[in-house]
Amino acid sequence: QAATYKVFAETFVLQQTQPLIAIVLAWIILGERRRPWFWPALIVAMIGVYLVVFAQDPTAPVSALQQGRVEVGLLALGAALLWASGTVLGRFALGSISFWSMTSLRFTLALPLLVTIVLLQYGVGAFSHYRFSDFVPNLLAIALVPGLLALLLYYRALSRTPASLATIAEMAYPVAATFIASAPPPWGFNQPIYGVQLVGTALLIGVIILLNLTKEKAAEVTSPPALTLVES
């Protein structure tokens, strides 16, 4: 919704509060604690993503925030809060269910809710222009590969990774999107790649590798043992 206002710089910068929110929530809900050097690594990762996204005009977010709209900022911050909550609560839920069940619940619960929202906003006519050929094979392939398969891999990894570290790996999303957009049609949009984007990508990948090599090994989330009554 924030992107519909076409204030992309403001939207993206405010959404980069997501890892900060996720780290705070992981501390409150999951009791995760990070070593002191984690915070400089987080700053380097955020700088790397910034260089990738704003390679053409690094000062764009400054002017966007100065001339930004309050509703855009609130929507972007709301999205960051929800995404961060999804990471932390997903990690928490994996303590009692498998990653297979987690993925299934995300699909089965989200679809009816999304359909309801579309019907409330646009009515039944919102689906009238779709044809069967729109769903097979294009939308079906999108749902299965970057949808179902990606979520399975994500929750499988999240079950073994602290949420405060997983949120940094999630910052690779805009980086990957930028490089995919550089591919020729129909896969991308032939967008040019700048040298500073390569530097930013190297910074982010370096931080992710560093955290994987130096973090405490997180055991897979398991369900807490059931309470048993002992006769005195």
CB-count burial class (<10 Å; 0-12, 13-18, 19+) for 18 = buried
Sequence spans of domains, the chain: 1-95+162-223, 98-158
Q: DSSP of 109-147, one letter per residue? A: HHHHHHHHHHHHHH-GGGGTT--HHHIIIIIHHHIIIII
For residue 172, give every residue at least 6 positions away whose Cβ sits within 8 Å of its Cβ, in sequence order, or none. 204, 205, 208
Sequence letter at residue 9: A
Tokens of 70: 């309050």
pTM score: 0.79
- How far apart, in Å, do the first and last CA atoms of the chain sit? 60
State the Cα–Cα distance between residues 141 and 55, nearest whole angstrom. Answer: 32
pLDDT in tens, the chain (232 residues): 655 555 566 567 777 788 999 999 999 999 998 888 899 999 999 999 888 888 887 777 767 666 666 777 788 888 889 989 999 999 999 989 999 999 998 888 888 888 898 899 888 887 777 777 777 777 888 888 888 899 999 999 999 899 999 999 898 888 888 888 888 887 788 888 889 989 999 999 999 898 888 765 554 454 444 444 455 4
Angle at the Cα of 154 from the Cα atoms of 151 and 156, rounded to 5 degrees: 105
Cα–Cα distance between 209 and 205 in angstroms, integer?
6
